[in-house]
Amino acid sequence: MIHIYNGDVVAELARRAELPGEHLAFREALANGPVTAEASTELRAQFLAAEYGRKLLRVRHELIEQVEALSAAMKHDEIVLWFEHDLFCVANLLSLLVRFAEHRRLTLVWNPQPLSQADLAALFESRSAVTPSMLRAARKAWAALTSDDPMDLNRFTKRQNPDFPFLRDGMRLHASRFPSLRSGLGAVEQRMLEIVVAGAADFRSLFDRFNVDVPRFGFGDGDILRTLRRMATATVPLLTMDEAPGSPPKALFRITLAAENVLRGDVDYARVNPPSGWLGGVNLTQHNYWRWDERKHEITPSPSAVS
pLDDT digits 0-9 by tens, 230-244: 999 999 999 999 998
pLDDT of residue 37: 73
Same domain membership, residue 204 and residue 121: no
pLDDT of residue 272: 92
* Integer Cα distance of 151 and 32 in angstroms: 18
pLDDT digits 0-9 by tens, 53-69: 899 999 999 999 999 99
Same domain membership, residue 125 and residue 237: no
* Integer Cα distance of 158 and 73 in angstroms: 35
**Quick check: is 283 in a domain?**
no
pLDDT of residue 39: 66
- Residue by residue, DSSP assigns 266-278 as SS-HHHHS---EE
**Quick check: is 18 in a domain?**
yes
Same domain membership, residue 156 and residue 215: no
Please report, in tens digits, the pLDDT of each residue of the chain (307 residues total).
999 999 899 999 999 999 999 999 999 999 999 998 776 889 999 999 998 889 999 999 999 999 999 999 999 999 999 999 999 999 999 999 999 999 999 999 999 989 999 999 999 999 999 999 999 999 999 999 999 999 999 999 998 998 898 999 999 999 999 999 999 999 999 999 999 999 999 999 999 999 887 789 999 998 999 999 999 999 999 999 999 888 888 999 999 999 999 999 999 999 999 999 999 999 999 888 899 999 999 999 987 644 4
Range of the domain at 243: 187-274
**Quick check: is 287 in a domain?**
no
Q: Cβ(243)–Cβ(251) under 8 Å?
A: yes
First to last CA, the chain: 54
**Quick check: is 284 in a domain?**
no
> CA–CA distance from 236 to each of 88, 196, 224, 230, 267 (Å)?
28, 18, 19, 10, 11
Same domain membership, residue 106 and residue 213: no
Same domain membership, residue 158 and residue 193: no
Q: Cβ(148)–Cβ(139) under 8 Å?
A: no
What is the pTM (predicted TM-score) of this model?
A: 0.94
Q: Nearest 5°: CA angle at 259, between 280 and 31?
A: 15
pLDDT of residue 212: 85
Same domain membership, residue 166 and residue 75: yes
Same domain membership, residue 120 and residue 92: yes
pLDDT of residue 307: 42
Same domain membership, residue 45 and residue 108: yes
CATH assignment of the domain containing 255: 1.10.10.10
Report, in angstroms and rounded to the nearest whole number, the Rg of the chain calculated over CA atoms: 20
pLDDT of residue 305: 46
pLDDT of residue 246: 80
